[in-house]
Structure 1
Amino acid sequence: MNLIESFRIALQALLSNKLRALLTMLGIIIGVGAVIGMLAMGNGFQGFLNSQFAQLGAGNFYVAPFIDSNRIDVLTSARLTASDARAIMQPGRAPAVSQVAIEFSGNAQVSAGGQRRTYSVRAVNPEWFEVTPQDLGPGRLFTSDENQDRARVAVLGSIVAERMFGDINSAVGQRLDLNGVGFDVIGVLTTPEGTFSIGADPAEAIFIPYHTGVARLYRNQVNDRIDVSIITIKARSVNEVDEAIRQVTAILREQHRLTYQDNDFSIINPEQIAAQLNSVIGAFNSFLGLVAGISLVVGGIGIMNIMLVSVTERTREIGLRRAVGAKQRDILWQFLIEALVLCLIGAAIGTVLGYGLSFIGTFVLVSLFNAEGAEATVNMSNIMLASSIAAIIGIIFGFFPALQASRLNPIEALRTE
C-alpha cells in the first residue's frame, strides 16, 4: 500500500465519524493554539522591552551617585560631580567615550497664566539633547553660552506646554516661574508621552540649563560631593561600551582617590539589563510553552484511546485486508497514518487558534501593561515547533494501536461480528 492510498483511507475513516474525530483532535487543537499564542505574547513583550531600551540611545550608559547598601566599606559615601564629567572628556583619558551629558533633577512649583502645578525640572547641559534622542517641536534648545551664563530659559515637555499654555505653539515666548524664579520658554519637545527614560518622562518635564539649575533652583541641594544626579555617557560605538565603562570607572576612581575602597558611584548599562531581561523572558516563554505542551500530551492520550476503539470497531475490516494480501506493515502504516492525520489536521486548526490568541495577546499587552506598540507576533519557527511536536505525539501515541491492529489474526478477525 502506498502512502497516498494510506492518507486517502485515513481521511475517509475520519470523515465517516466527523464529531468523534473533532473531539479527538480537541486536545491537539488547544495544545497547538496555546503554544503558538503563548510564545507570540512572549515575543511581543520581549520586542516591546527591547524597543523601550533602544529609546535610551544605542551605546549609552549611566553613572549615578548610588552605593550598594551591602557594601563592605560602610564609611564610603556617594560622590558624583560635574568635575567628574569634565575629567572623562579630557583628551586621551577615555578614548572610547564620545559624549558626556550631566543632569541634576528635582521637583518645582510651576506657575504660569494663573495655574500652579508641580513638575520635574531637569537641569541639563546642551549635550544632553544630543546624547539622549529627543524630538524638538516649536522653538529651539538652549546653547552652551546660555548654560555658562546661567540664562533663565526653559524647554518644556509637550504635556507641560499643553497644560500650562493650552497648546505647544502658544508656549514658546511665554514666561513661567519655577519656585518663584522667572524663566522664558524657548522651545517645546514633542517626544511622545511614555517614552522610556532614565528620570522623569520627557513629555512631563521641564528642561533648564545645568548651571542655571544648580545656581538658582538647587543651590541648597547640591554640595561638594554631589552636584549631579546622573551622568549619561555615549560610547563611540555599541561595540565599545564595555571598554568605555572600564575607562570611566578607572577615571572616577582616580578622581575620587579610591584605592582599596568600593566604588562610591554606580554604573548602569541598559544593554546588560536588557540582556538579563531577555534571558528571563526567554526562560518564561519556555515555561509557558512547556505548560501549554501538556495539553498536547493529553491530546495524544485521547488519540491513543480513540484509535484503540477504532481498531476494535474495524477488526473485520482488518481481517478482510489481511485475507486479500495486506501485510502486517500495511495495517501498521494504515493506522499510524490515521493517527498522524488526526494530529496534523488538529495542528492546522490549532495554528488558526494561535493566531487568534495572538490578537488577544496584543490587546492584553496594550491594555493591562500599557505597552503601547507591543504586538504579539507569531513566528514561523513557533508554528513549525508546535506542529512537529503534534506530529511526533501522533506517531508515538498512535503506534501502539497500530501495532495491535497489525498483529490481529486474520481468521479470528474475519469471525468477528
Structure 2
Amino acid sequence: MNIIESIRIAFTALFSNKLRAALTMLGIIIGVGAVIGMLAMGNGFQNFLNSQFAQLGAGNFYVAPFIDSNRLDVVNAARLTASDGNALLQPGRAPAVENVAIEWNGRVQAIGASQRGSYDVRAVSPSWFAVTPQELAAGRLFSEEENRERARVAVIGRSVAERLYGGMGTAVGQRISLNGVGFTVIGVLATEEGSFSIGTDPAEAIFVPYQSGLARLFRNQVNDQVNVGIMTVKARSVPEIDEAIRQVTLVLREEHRLTYQDNDFSIINPEQIAAQFNVVIGGFNAFLGLVAGISLIVGGIGIMNIMLVSVTERTREIGLRKAVGARRRDILLQFLIEALVLCMIGGILGILLGYLLSFVGTFILINLFATEGAAASVSLANVLLATGIAAAIGLAFGFFPALQASRLNPIEALRTE
C-alpha cells in the first residue's frame, strides 16, 4: 500500500465521523495554540524589556551613594562626589572607562508662559547627553563652559514644552522660573514620553547644568560627602563592562580611603538586571510550556482512545484486508498515518489559534499594561516546534492502537460481528 492511498483512507475515516474527530483534535488544538501563543507573548515582552534597557545606552552602568543600612557590619556612611567622577577620567586610573556623567535631581515649581507645574529638575554634567542616547527636537544643549560658569540655561523635555509653552518649537528662547530662579530654555529633547530611564522620564524632566543646579537650586540638599545622586559611567565597549566596573570600584575605594570596609557606594549594571529579567521570563515561558504540554498529553490520550475505538469498529475491515494479502506493516502504517493526520490537522488549527492568542496578548500588553512595543512575536522556530510536537504525539499515542490492529488474526477478525 502506498502512502498517498493511506492518507486518502485516513481522511475518509476522519470525515465519516466529523464530530468525533473534532472533539478528538480539541486537546491538540488547545495545546499547540497555547504553546505558540504563550511563547509569542513571552518573546514579545522579552524584546520589549531588552529594547527598554537598550535605551539606557550600550555599555552604561551606574554608581549611586547607597549602602545597605540593614547590614550589621556597616560602619561607614554613603559617599559620592563630583571629584569621584573626575578621578575616574584621570589618565591611566580607569582605562576601560570612556566617559562619566554626574547628576543631582530634585522637585521644583516651574513657571513658563503663565503656566505652572511641579517637575523634576535634573542637574547634569554636559557629558550626560553624550553617554545617554537623547535627541534634540529644537535648540541646542548646554556646554561645559556654561556648566563652569553656572549659567542659567535649561533643556526641557517635550512634555514639559507642550504643557508650559504649547509646543516644542515655541519653547526655545523662552524664560522658565524654577523655584523663583529664572532660566532660559535653550533646547527641547525629542525623547517620547514613557521612555525607560534611570531617574525621571526625560520627556517629563527639566535639565540644567550640574554646577548651576547645585549653586542655584539644590544648595541646601548636598554636602561634602554626597553631592552626586547618580553617576553614569560608559565603558569603552560592552565586553569591557565587567572590567570597567572592577576599575571603577578600585578607584572609588582609593578615593574614599577604604581598606577593610565595605563599599560606601553601589554599582548598578543594567546588563545584569536585563539578564535576570530574561531568566525570569524564560522560567515563566517554561512553566506555560509545561501547562500547555499537559494539554497536549491529554489530547494524545484522546487520540489513543479514539484510535482504539476505530480499531474495534473496523475489525472486519482489517481481517478482510489481511485475507486479501495486506501485511502487518501495511495495517500498522495505515493506522499510524490516521493518527498522524489527526494530530497534524489539530496542529495546523492550533497554529492558527496561537496566532489569534498572540494578537489578543499584544492588545492586552499594550493597552492594559502600557507596554508600547511589546508586540507578541510568533517565530518560525516556535511554529516548527509546535508542528513537531503534534507529529510526535500522533506517532507516540497512535503506535499502540496501530500495533494492536496489525496483530489481529484475520480469521477471528472476519468472524467479528
In the other structure, the counterpart of 2:47 is: 47
* Partner in structure 1 of residue 286 of structure 2: 286
For the pair 1:255 / 2:255, whether they are aligned, the reply is yes
8 Å CA contact retained: 1:72, 1:262: no
Q: Which residue of 2 aligns with 1:83?
A: 83
Does the Cα contact within 8 Å between 1:79 and 1:265 map onto a contact in 2? yes
| Deviation per residue, 1:281-327 (Å, 9 max, x gap) | 11111111111111111111111111111111111101100110112
Q: Could you say which residue in structure 2 is the equivalent of 1:408?
A: 408
Residues 65-117 of structure 1 deviation map (CA, whole Å, 9 limit, x = unaligned): 01123434322110000000000001111111111100000100112233321
Residue matched to 2:140: 140
| Corresponding position of 2:394 | 394
Partner of 1:242: 242
Alignment-mate amino acid for residue 219 of structure 1: R
Please tell me the residue identity of whatever aligns with 2:227.
D
**For 1:221, what is the secondary structure of its paired residue?**
coil
C-alpha distance in 1 between matches for 2:149 and 2:312: 94
The separation in 1 between residues aligned to 2:125 and 2:226, in whole angstroms, is 16
Q: 2:203 maps to which residue?
A: 203
Deviates most, 275-284 or 42-51: 275-284
Segment of structure 1 superposing worse, 222-231 or 388-397: 388-397
Q: Contact (CA 8 Å) 1:36, 1:382: kept in 2 or not?
A: yes
Which residue in the other structure is 2:168 paired with? Answer: 168
Find the aligned partners of 1:176 and 1:392 in 2 and give their Cα distance: 68
| 1:66 aligned partner | 66
Check whether the contact 1:110–1:179 (CA below 8 A) recurs between aligned residues. yes
The CA deviation string for residues 210-232 of structure 1, in whole angstroms up to 9 with x for no partner, is 00001110000000000000110
Give the SS at the match of 1:184: strand
Identity %: 75
- Residue in 1 aligned with 2:105? 105
Q: Which runs of 5+ in 2 are unaligned?
A: none
Shift of 1:414: 1.0
1:356-367 map, 5 Å: 356-367=356-367
- Distance in 1, matches of 2:77 and 2:187, equals 38
2:110 aligned counterpart, secondary structure: strand
- 1:148-227 alignment to 2 at 5 Å? 148-227=148-227
Deviates more, 1:109-118 or 1:266-275: 109-118
Q: Aligned with 1:171: secondary structure?
A: coil
The yes-or-no answer on 1:385 pairing with 2:385 is yes
Query: How far apart, in 1, do the equivalents of 2:13 and 2:146 lie?
Result: 84
Q: TM-score, normalised by structure 2?
A: 0.98
Asked whether the equivalents of residues 136 and 190 of structure 2 are also in contact (C-alpha less than 8 Å), the reply is yes
How far the C-alpha of 1:243 sits from its partner, in A, is 0.7
RMSD, aligned α-carbons: 1.1
Contact 2:75–2:261 (8 Å) recurs in 1: no
Matched, 1:302 2:302: yes
d(CA) in 2 for partners of 1:360 and 1:108?
Answer: 42
| Separation in 2, partners of 1:213, 1:331 | 85
Taking the aligned partners of 1:97 and 1:311, their CA distance within structure 2 comes to 73
Pairing 1:33-44 to 2, within 5 Å after superposition: 33-44=33-44
- Residue segments in structure 1 that go unaligned for 5+ positions in a row: none
Determine the structure 1 residue equivalent to 2:276.
276
Instruction: Quote the offset at 1:400 in angstroms.
Output: 1.7
Q: Is the 8 A contact 1:126 1:142 kept in 2?
A: yes
Q: Distance in 2 between matches of 1:348 and 1:144?
A: 62
Equivalent pair of 2:112/2:177 in contact (CA under 8 Å):
yes
Q: Secondary structure at the match of 2:74?
A: coil
SS in 2 for 1:168: coil
Which residue of the partner structure matches residue 332 of structure 1? 332
Whole-Å Cα distance in 2 between the matches of residues 83 and 127 of structure 1? Answer: 15
| d(CA) in 2 for partners of 1:75, 1:242 | 27
Identify the residue that residue 117 of structure 1 maps to in structure 2.
117
Contact kept in structure 2, 1:172 and 1:188, CA below 8 Å: yes
> How far apart are 1:13 and its partner, in Å?
1.2
Q: Tell me, what secondary structure is at the counterpart of 2:170?
A: helix
CA distance in 2, matches of 1:401, 1:297: 16
Contact 1:331-1:402 at 8 Å conserved across structures:
yes
The answer on whether the counterparts of 1:71 and 1:262 sit within 8 Å (CA) in structure 2 is: no
Contact 2:108 2:121 in 1 (8 A): yes
> For each residue in 1:31-63, what CA deviation from the matched residue of structure 2 results, as whole angstroms up to 9, or x when unmatched?
101100000000000000000000000000000
Return the TM-score normalized by structure 1. Answer: 0.98
SS in 1 for 2:121: strand
Partners in 2 of 1:307 and 1:31 — Cα distance?
19
| More displaced 10-residue stretch of structure 1: 163-172 or 220-229 | 163-172
